[in-house]
Structure 1
Amino acid sequence: MIEGYMSSQDVADALGIKRASVHRYVTRGDLPEPDDRVGRSPVWKRETFEAWVAARRGQGWRKGRTGRAGD
């Protein structure tokens, strides 16, 4: 792997998911767009991935919840 970049497998390992899930997350827009490609494989700059992890919503969050009682 290119120094400073993460492959799909690296991202999967960091998130504790399967590599196929990484590709689904990209397609759905749940992961940032890859910074580049090595052949046909997407790669992310380590800082892009780390910024995304820091900014993402916490575990248990789901769309449509307002945080009010009864939700």
Structure 2
Amino acid sequence: MIRYLSRGEIAERLGLTLGTIKSYDLRGYLPAADAQIGRNFGWLPETIDAWNESRPGRGARTDLEES
């Protein structure tokens, strides 16, 4: 059976607040959901783990261009 993570489970897995995960989702920072049933979205654990490994560290600015 395939197990998908909810936003709350993602927050718990990464040690973040649910509000942070919701904010990331609204801003388009989360990867695309692996499944959608109605209005509910789900992510595979490996999708979230890969995304977490590639995201910038705390306080990193991604909006600045290098000169």
Give TM class, smaller chain. 0.7 to 0.9
**Corresponding pairs, count:** 66
Q: What is the percent sequence identity of the aligned residues?
A: 33
Of structures 1 and 2, the larger Rg is shown by: 1
- The TM-score normalised by the length of structure 2 is 0.73
What's the CA shift string for 1:43-64, capped at 9, x where partnerless?
A: 1011111110111112221132
Paired amino acid for 1:33: A
Q: Could you tell me which residue of structure 1 aligns to residue 13 of structure 2?
A: 14
Paired amino acid for 1:41: N
Runs of 4 or more consecutive aligned structure 1 residues displaced over 3 Å after TM superposition: none
Paired amino acid for 2:45: R
What's the RMSD between the two structures over aligned residues?
A: 2.3
Paired amino acid for 2:64: G
Structure 1 residues without counterparts, runs of 5 or longer: none
1:39 is displaced (CA, Å) by 3.6
- The TM-score normalised by the length of structure 1 is 0.70
